[in-house]
Amino acid sequence: METSDFDFQNLYTIFENSLTNNLDINHYNEIIIAYSGGVDSSTLLYFANKLSKKLKFKIRAVHINHNLNIRSKEWEDHCVKICKKNKIPLEIGNLKIMVKPGESIEEQARKSRYEFIYSLMNEESIMLTAHHLDDQAETYIYNLLRGSGLKGLSSMPVIKTLDKGVHVRPFLNFTKNTLSDFVRFKDIEYIEDNSNENINFSRNFIRKEVFPKIKKNWTSYATTISRAASNASDSIKLNNDLAKIDIEKYLLDSRKKISVNVKKLDKYRFNNVIRYWIEYNGYRMPSSMQLNSIHKNVFRAGEDKSPFFSCAEYEIRRNNNYVEIMNPLKKHDSSKTYKWKFDKNLVIPDLSINLTWKSLEKKLGYKLNKDVEVKFRRKGQNIKLSLDTTLKDYMRENKIPVWKRDRALLIYVDKELKIIWD
């Protein structure tokens, strides 16, 4: 339900109901407000402060200074002043946004902002942001023009459950005009972010240049687009339900491993399962181009191959009859030799290894009171293990993945190979 621009008496009730009707409020004791100092978050701060007193909840605000605007310190000072005036504790996040070539500064700022805010939360925290109906429409069009799939086109939910606490957007049924009228009606102090006028930013261009033209023919465009986003959200849920059914047949003991036989599914169902599997493992979903590469070059490569797909976030590698997803492998020099000091831990950061001396003795099956050497199989090297067995044979017979073969620890005691620690 969208409230009228002058229905101020009902605004607070709608705000409160968005929390109390959607949450078991007894599970929480704290409200955190993402507070920029602008119109939207200033209204949010006003309502949240009122609600926290009614519920007897703790309250605090978080202001993120991205350090991207010449006035950013001025905005920070404003938020400090307002929170002090209202006796609301304020956390300041001073960020340094690092953008790699090809990355969007808008997306990187958003990611860094949420990482900071989420880090302040606990299981009893309700974190509020001031996203409204126009933001919903803006996000939809922005993602549509980027060629996003259903995930990108789906609506922002009112409630998002996090690892710790929940993220609530109580203004999603309010228009920007409603919030602007409210701050004027209540004479609430707020700042004007001049960066919102810069149409070199994609979202500002949509807001300033595209929407005014759309509004001439479709006055209720924000509500209509929001409905389309909601439909996309429902479709995502159906896709996920189907993926959960399909993946049951192919997911192996480890959630990171999936049977290569998933390629037997029709392509659209294969894509659906792999998207779900990648997100299930905590990584960002792939683009259509990446999905095609994974399907063609990993799952459908020749059976004698050990293909892999790699991107900045993760790698997908095939071994025999399964495919595994993992963090990108760090560079490793297999020609290096390490000395494992007696009764100390073996630490090799590039391989994420931290092994205790007790674990070595357990592998050996006896106590040891001297240093050992740790080596690796170098490319092309074929170490003899017995008269008729080589290290290469051992690794193949024990189905050690190709990418692990030059990373498996070769433990030497008195220059004799005693353990192959894969």
In a domain, 146, yes or no: yes
Residue 381 pLDDT more than 80? no
Q: Read off the pTM.
A: 0.73
In a domain, 208, yes or no: yes
Q: Please check whether residues 193 and 104 belong to one and the same domain.
A: yes
pLDDT score at 280: 93
**Tokens describing residue 116:** 């900071």
Average pLDDT value for the chain: 89
Residue 192 pLDDT more than 80? yes
Rounded alpha-carbon distances, angstroms, from residue 185 to 88, 182, 193, 216, 355: 22, 5, 20, 27, 65
Q: Please check whether residues 123 and 156 belong to one and the same domain.
A: yes
Asked if residues 233 and 265 have their Cβ atoms less than 8 Å apart, the reply is: no
In a domain, 243, yes or no: no
pLDDT score at 102: 67
In a domain, 311, yes or no: yes
**Based on the structure, what is the number of domains in the chain?**
3
Q: Please check whether residues 217 and 346 belong to one and the same domain.
A: no
Residue 290 pLDDT more than 60? yes
Residue 3 pLDDT more than 70? no
Name, in order, each residue with C-beta under 8 angstroms of 192's C-beta and a sequence gap of 6 or more: 38
Domain that includes residue 379, residue range: 338-421
Residue 395 pLDDT more than 50? yes
Long-range residue pairs from 302-307, CB within 8 A, at least 24 positions apart, any chain: 306/401, 306/402, 306/403
Q: How confident is the model at residue 183 (pLDDT cuts 50, 70, 90)?
A: very high
Mean pLDDT of the region 102-118: 85
In a domain, 245, yes or no: no
pLDDT score at 306: 85
> Each residue of 234-278: pLDDT tens digit?
999 999 999 999 999 999 988 999 999 999 999 999 999 999 999
In a domain, 70, yes or no: yes
Dihedral over Cα of 15, 174, 5, 197: its sign: positive
The CATH code of the domain that includes 129 is: 3.40.50.620
Residue 136 pLDDT more than 80? yes
Report CA dihedral (132, 138, 139, 141) to the nearest 10 degrees: 150
Cα–Cα distance measured from residue 155 to residue 141, given in angstroms and rounded to the nearest whole number: 11
pLDDT score at 394: 83
> Could you say which of 301, 326, 351 is where a domain stops?
326
Mean pLDDT of the region 341-353: 89
Mean pLDDT of the region 381-406: 81
Residue 78 pLDDT more than 70? yes
Cα–Cα distance measured from residue 282 to residue 286, given in angstroms and rounded to the nearest whole number: 12
What is the secondary structure of 107-168 as a DSSP string? Answer: HHHHHHHHHHHHHT--TTEEEE----HHHHHHHHHHHHHTT--HHHHSPPPSEEE-SSSEEE
pLDDT score at 110: 86
Long-range residue pairs from 190-196, CB within 8 A, at least 24 positions apart, any chain: 190/37, 190/38, 190/39, 190/42, 191/36, 191/37, 191/38, 191/74, 191/75, 191/78, 192/38, 193/36, 193/38, 193/69, 193/75, 194/69, 194/71, 195/68, 195/69
Give the burial class of 35: count Cβ atoms within 10 A of its Cβ; 0-12 exposed, 13-18 middle, 19 or more buried: buried
Which position has the higher pLDDT, 312 or 42?
42
pLDDT score at 7: 66
Short-list 172, 148, 149, CA closest to 159: 172
Short-list 45, 53, 6, CA closest to 184: 6
CB atoms within 10 A of CB 398: 10
102-106, 113-117, 249-253, 292-296: which has the minimum mean pLDDT? 102-106
Measure CA of the first residue to CA of the last residue in the chain; give whole Å: 59
What are the residues facing 384 on neighbouring strands?
390
Long-range residue pairs from 138-147, CB within 8 A, at least 24 positions apart, any chain: 138/203, 138/206, 138/207, 138/211, 139/229, 140/225, 140/226, 140/228, 140/229, 141/206, 141/210, 141/225, 142/202, 142/203, 142/206, 145/202, 145/206, 147/288
Mean pLDDT of the region 282-304: 91
Residue 4 pLDDT more than 50? no
Q: Please check whether residues 95 and 220 belong to one and the same domain.
A: yes
> Each residue of 204-213: pLDDT tens digit?
899 989 999 9
103-107, 240-244, 294-298: which has the minimum mean pLDDT? 103-107
Q: Please check whether residues 84 and 180 belong to one and the same domain.
A: yes
Q: How confident is the model at residue 1 (pLDDT cuts 50, 70, 90)?
A: very low
pLDDT score at 380: 67
The CATH code of the domain that includes 262 is: 1.20.59.20
User: Pairing relation of β-strands 409-413 and 416-421?
Assistant: antiparallel
In a domain, 206, yes or no: yes
Q: Please check whether residues 355 and 223 belong to one and the same domain.
A: no
Which position has the higher pLDDT, 421 or 133?
133
> Each residue of 121-133: pLDDT tens digit?
999 999 999 999 9
In a domain, 239, yes or no: no
Rounded alpha-carbon distances, angstroms, from residue 306 to 60, 76, 320, 403: 52, 53, 8, 9
Q: How confident is the model at residue 387 (pLDDT cuts 50, 70, 90)?
A: low
Q: Please check whether residues 146 and 193 belong to one and the same domain.
A: yes
> Each residue of 20-70: pLDDT tens digit?
998 999 999 999 999 999 999 999 999 999 999 999 999 999 999 988 888
